[in-house]
Amino acid sequence: MSSNFTITRICQICGNEFLAKTTVTMYCSQHCRKQNQMAQERKAKLARSEAEVKVLKEVNTIKQRALILDKDILLVKDVAALIGCSTKAVYNMINDGRIKASNLGVRQIKIKRSDIDKLLENPKFEVVPKPKNIKVVEPLKIDNCYSIPELVSKFEVTRDLLYTMFRRKNVPKIPKGREVFYSKKVVDKLLRGYKIR
């Protein structure tokens, strides 16, 4: 069935304008149509190949898991695959004492399968909080502090250097009127390498 009109279209492959006799024509020539067909076939082949690879990976993991289940003594990576966690998590469990392991040398950690079964049967969900280092902060007194003019006269440094250094290091301070006093203990540690007048 022929049409009595022509319509200007743009080719989906090369981007050139062409005159089409139907509104659904997408390609300017036989060459562009074949290129599109080959691209579609290529995509289909890649999709089939990816599906095959995915199936083979699943089969391999099932085989590996079956091999692991047959072993009586496991390596760390085998335990990680069996439990479904990372090797770092297995090492942490060994260090915590949740899994018993024997170290036969460098990279020779062996774990009994029965210990893993016991772990999975009776999991412990205890969260042991780590003790926090709580620093006791002494209240600052002006007797234990330096003022900026004292520091400039004692050490050979500028006011700007002192202000920026103290701001970066979060040195404890006491504002008193127009003066600001900084902790002697912390300042002495910070300015240890500077010359004293």
The amino acid occupying position 150 is E
CB 19 within 8 A of CB 7: yes
Distance CA 77, CA 67 (A): 13
How many separate domains does the chain show? 2
Banded pLDDT at 191 (limits 50, 70, 90): confident
Angle value at C-alpha 119, between 113 and 122, nearest 5 degrees: 140
Give the position of tokens 């300042």. Answer: 187
For the stretch 109-139, pLDDT in tens is 999 998 888 888 876 666 667 777 766 667 8
Site of tokens 């392991």 = 101
- 63 within some domain: no
Looking at the structure, tell me whether residues 107 and 146 fall in a common domain: no
Shared-domain flag, residues 148 and 111 = no
Rounded Cα–Cα distance for residues 53 and 47 (Å): 10
Domain that holds residue 174: 142-191
Any domain includes 37:
no
Is there a domain that residue 61 lies in? no
Does the structure show a pLDDT above 80 at 107? Answer: no
112 domain-assigned: yes
Reported as a single tens digit per residue, the pLDDT across 8-48 is 999 999 999 999 998 899 999 999 999 999 999 999 999 99
146 and 117 inside one domain: no
Does residue 89 lie within any of the structural domains?
Answer: yes
Which one-letter amino acid corresponds to residue 193?
A: G
Q: Examine residue 176 and state whether it is found in any structural domain, yes or no.
A: yes
Residue 45 lies in a domain: no
- Counting Cβ atoms within 10 Å, is residue 99 exposed (0-12), middle (13-18) or buried (19+)? buried
- C-alpha 180/C-alpha 142 separation (Å) is 10
CATH number at residue 173: 3.90.105
Q: Tens digit of pLDDT for each residue in 124-182?
A: 666 667 777 766 667 888 888 989 998 888 888 889 989 999 999 888 889 888 889 99
163: CB partners within 8 A, 6+ apart = 148
Q: What is the pLDDT of residues 77-92, one digit of tens each?
A: 889 988 889 999 999 9
Helices (H), ranges, the chain: 30-70, 76-83, 87-96, 113-121, 148-154, 159-169, 184-190
